[in-house]
Amino acid sequence: MGAPLTPLEFARRARRLYPHREAVVDGDRRFTYAEFLDRVDRWSAVLRELGVGPGDRVACVAPNSQAHLEAYYAIPQLGAIIVPINYRLSLDDFTYIVNHAGATVVCVQADYLDLVDQIRGNLPGVSHFVAFSGEKPGWISYEARLAAAQPVTDLPEIDERSTLSINYTSVTTARPKGVMLTHRNQYLNILCRLVHTPMTSADRYLWTLPMFHVNGWCFAWIVTAVGGTHVCLHKPETKRIFELLRSERISLFCAAPTILIGIANSSPELHRGLPRGIRVLTAGAPPAAATIERVEGEFGWTVTHIYGLTEVSPIVTVCEPRPEDAQLGLREVAIHKSRQGVEAIASAEVRVVDDEDREVPHDGATLGEVVMRGHAVMRGYYHDPEATAQAMRGGWFRSGDAAVVHPDGYLEIRDRWKDVIISGGENISSIEVEGLLLRHPSVQEVAVVGKPHEKWGETPVAFVVLKAGATGNGAELRAFCRANLAHFKAPHEFTFVNELPKTSTGKIQKYVLRGGRPNLARQ
């Protein structure tokens, strides 16, 4: 009988093949694979003592730390389910997610102990609170309990179609939904990533992407699968990223476009002498071609754009390089790389369809919705059969993303359906306008949204973050847009702000901008 498809198989392999290789770096602490996985087994034993068994949920509120990484092995190998929670959420959201998931144990890093203490009385289903780090009355010490435990030996058999994690979607205007991802989902997504981003035990991976974001896009297990090194980074600050790229000889990291923008626009003093040849995977929001162009041209790194959603494990497409790209200039290559690309191997079938579920022409112009079906698609939304049925109409997961398909078959997201601006009957892609504005030398970040208009229905307006020391005004930027776009696509208004509202994974919260929140205004 074949073994189940589970990421835990990669831990077994790493223990056997790479026991003496460096597995985890977290500040001054360094652990080999033998040490790392021994800690995992001892933490599983502690969890079992705390009453955790198959099907139970364990919530984690932590940055990218060694203890958080250990949870991605110790919890699921008991047949239990990990519930990673975004540590930047509000108390109300913490309360909702822990209670909705039915977590019986909550594990928290030191910085968030006081925060969780404020809501302990509202979490009646939680039996134990564990401090991943720090000491506090009423909290179980992770390190003390782990040090006293004996490694677990009698682990249950895993059903590959059972839930491994419940990952809650980004909070916007409604309650987050709990996406159930299975052992099989994650195993196949790991293989998919390794096909398109080959790695070896020589690779050293920097954790700039939050682990809580869909299990770190599966890199919680991918790095282990090849015997590479996890280098933990608690806060993705540009200066600290550059320090670790140098000192830890990093070869690969993942980043939302907001992190890439910070890197691309950093001062020369910060990035002078950085290693070349580093590979970067970016997703979460469409990256601007201008950002890719600068990172590849000035830093000598290779950027690969991937695309997906929490509900599809999470990656389903990759913007693979084409042989003909060798004949193109850097700018043309960057424009192509900013597309979402083609179906990834072993993930899901991806189509762009119209309102009647007919595939749109591959003409680079006809908008449709991106839909998927296959190995990567979630088991469903936890305790929400209605939302599951709505998202999976006709057997396809409905992404809500509006896209075109180019003649070469490459997918390009133009907007969320709800963000397409319809002005005078014409569709305007906010992403197209944003991509152009990011080519202006004064613009660091920008978001374009629709504003109600009596005559046109909607008109585009732009919220702009200027680069440090740069100056600019609305008339100048509007003239720049009109010189490079159809005139009806040029924003009618420009608001200059200090920062754009974002989710923890770098997605701009356009619903906030549409509401015109006043405290965003640039002082």
The residue ranges of the chain whose pLDDT is under 50 are 172-173, 517-523
What distance in Å separates the CA atoms of residue 515 and residue 519, rounded to the nearest whole number? Answer: 12
pTM above 0.95, yes or no: no
Residue pair 348/376 in contact by the 8 Å Cβ criterion: yes
pLDDT of residue 458: 83
Beta bridge partners of 292: none
Residue pair 343/361 in contact by the 8 Å Cβ criterion: no
CATH H-level, domain 420-520: superfamily: ANL, C-terminal domain (3.30.300.30)
CATH 3.40.50.12780 fits domain 33-183 = yes
What distance in Å separates the CA atoms of residue 464 and residue 473, rounded to the nearest whole number? Answer: 10
pLDDT of residue 163: 98
pLDDT tens for residues 133-162?
A: 999 999 999 999 999 999 999 999 999 999
Q: Which residues contact 343 (CB under 8 A, 6 or more apart)?
A: 316, 317, 349, 350
Residue pair 20/229 in contact by the 8 Å Cβ criterion: no
pLDDT of residue 162: 98
Closest Cα to residue 33, out of 190, 213, 186, 228?
Answer: 228
Note whether 236-416 and 420-520 share their fold: no
Sequence ranges of the domains in the chain: 33-183, 236-416, 420-520
pLDDT tens for residues 297-321?
A: 999 999 999 999 999 999 999 999 8
pLDDT of residue 521: 47
DSSP assigned state of 322: -
Closest Cα to residue 223, out of 234, 213, 237, 211?
Answer: 211
CATH 3.40.50.12780 fits domain 236-416 = yes
What distance in Å separates the CA atoms of residue 333 and residue 325, rounded to the nearest whole number? Answer: 6
What distance in Å separates the CA atoms of residue 399 and residue 10, rounded to the nearest whole number? Answer: 30
pLDDT of residue 515: 75
